[in-house]
């Protein structure tokens, strides 16, 4: 069987960037419309669970015990999406893209150091410091369109959400999970426990929401990053390698900010653009992209 071409890998990596940055904008659009954040979470895991059902028996992570399954599934499950959606009620898409994608390498490195005793090299430490400066500027930003006086609440919720993802990433490495196992496990577990809770107790906006809104959120939340994103990400890593794929992810905050301008009318301020540039540079360094020697 022929080896995949590098072009396919780069296209797959760019596909991940589009899917992840689009998710930020679509999610922000959802929280400012009619659906509740609980509706959006329910749609996400319902659609994704149905999509992965044919692969459930073959790819279920049988090597994990129950608490490992629960911890892993929560990392990118309901707690994560509710914190992310909740944060987007207070802060615009540009803030979400920078705070979530910027702090993830830092939190993953800290957990990797504590859990796996992996010490980051000096370029990654430098990158994390640059990211912190960029995120600090975002914390001060009050001029971007969509920023309210309580934006700091959204920032804290973004960081809390990404902390769960960092646990998920480290767990994936420690427990040797494949991409297919992750793609099957996360939506299935969250569907099983959250849907009954949602139907019985949580606020809903489905009855008054437009069908276009429901279909957009269901399709993008359930099939976007959860399914297509995993396929593209795995293809990119297999074809062009981990470091180039991770470096491509540095484009996510900027693309999210650009997409949010025509879709949401959210223009970032000069301070936000500066924070975006710094966070992007820091993510590149954290991904192992060292400056070229002159």
pLDDT at 137: 92
Nearest 10 degrees: Cα torsion 95, 185, 12, 216:
-60
Residue with the larger pLDDT of the pair 91 and 4: 91
Closest CA to 108 of 175, 169, 179: 169
The rounded mean pLDDT for the chain is 89
* Tokens encoding 103: 């702090």
How large is the average pLDDT for residues 129-151?
A: 90
pLDDT higher than threshold 80 for residue 119? yes
pLDDT higher than threshold 80 for residue 212? yes
Q: What is the share, in percent, of the chain residues with pLDDT greater than 70? A: 95
Residue 163, number of CB atoms within 10 A of its CB: 19
Residues in the chain: 294
Q: What is the share, in percent, of the chain residues with pLDDT greater than 90? A: 59
pLDDT at 1: 45
Non-local (6+) Cβ contacts of 124 within 8 A are 105, 109, 285, 286, 288
How large is the average pLDDT for residues 95-118?
A: 87
pLDDT at 294: 44
Buried/exposed 88-123: b ≥16 CB within 10 Å, e otherwise: bebbbbbbbbbbbbbbbbbbbbebbeeeeeeebeeb
pLDDT higher than threshold 60 for residue 292? no
pLDDT at 288: 63
pLDDT higher than threshold 70 for residue 221? yes
DSSP alpha helix (H) spans, the chain = 6-31, 37-52, 56-59, 66-75, 78-87, 93-116, 122-140, 151-175, 179-201, 211-223, 230-240, 242-248, 251-264, 270-286
pLDDT higher than threshold 80 for residue 80? yes
Closest CA to 188 of 292, 95, 58: 58
pLDDT at 113: 87
How large is the average pLDDT for residues 6-31?
A: 91
pLDDT digits (tens, 9 = 90+) for 162-182: 999 888 888 888 888 888 898
> Lowest-confidence range among 29-38, 88-97, 167-176, 188-197?
167-176
pLDDT at 130: 93
Cβ contact 155:149 at 8 Å: no
pLDDT higher than threshold 90 for residue 35? yes
Give pTM, 2 decimals: 0.89
pLDDT digits (tens, 9 = 90+) for 230-282: 888 888 877 887 667 777 888 899 999 999 999 999 999 999 999 999 999 99
Measure the CA–CA gap between 45 and 86, rounded to whole angstroms. 17
Q: How far is CA 218 from CA 27, 41, 89, in A?
A: 11, 9, 19
* Tokens encoding 110: 């800290």
Q: Read off the pLDDT band of 289 (50, 70, 90).
A: low
pLDDT digits (tens, 9 = 90+) for 47-69: 999 999 999 999 999 998 999 99
Cβ contact 226:44 at 8 Å: yes
């Amino acid at each position: 069987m022929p080896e995949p071409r590098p072009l396919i890998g780069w296209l797959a990596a760019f596909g991940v960037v589009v899917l992840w940055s689009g998710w930020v904008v679509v999610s922000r659009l959802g929280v400012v419309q009619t659906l509740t954040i609980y509706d959006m979470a329910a749609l996400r895991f319902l659609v994704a669970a149905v999509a992965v059902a044919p692969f459930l028996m073959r790819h279920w992570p049988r090597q994990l015990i129950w608490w490992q399954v629960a911890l892993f599934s929560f990392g990118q499950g309901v707690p994560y999406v509710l914190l992310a959606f909740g944060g987007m009620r207070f802060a615009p898409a540009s803030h979400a893209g920078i705070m979530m994608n910027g702090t993830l390498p830092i939190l993953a490195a800290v957990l990797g150091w504590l859990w796996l005793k992996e010490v980051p090299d000096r370029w990654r430490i430098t990158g994390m410091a640059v990211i912190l400066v960029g995120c600090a500027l975002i914390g001060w930003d009050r001029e971007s369109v969509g920023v309210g006086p309580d934006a700091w609440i959204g920032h804290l919720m973004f960081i809390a959400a990404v902390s769960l993802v960092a646990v998920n990433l480290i767990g994936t490495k420690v427990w040797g999970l494949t991409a297919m196992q992750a793609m099957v496990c996360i939506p299935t577990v969250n569907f099983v426990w959250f849907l009954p809770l949602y139907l019985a107790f949580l606020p809903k906006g489905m009855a008054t929401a437009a069908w276009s809104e429901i279909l957009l959120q269901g399709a993008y939340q359930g099939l976007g990053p959860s399914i297509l994103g995993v396929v593209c990400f795995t293809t990119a890593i297999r074809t062009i390698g981990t470091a180039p794929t991770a470096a491509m992810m540095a484009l996510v905050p900027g693309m999210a900010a650009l997409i949010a301008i025509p879709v949401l009318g959210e223009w970032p301020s000069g301070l936000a653009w500066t924070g975006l540039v710094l966070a992007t540079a820091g993510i590149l360094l954290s991904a192992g992209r060292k400056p070229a020697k002159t």
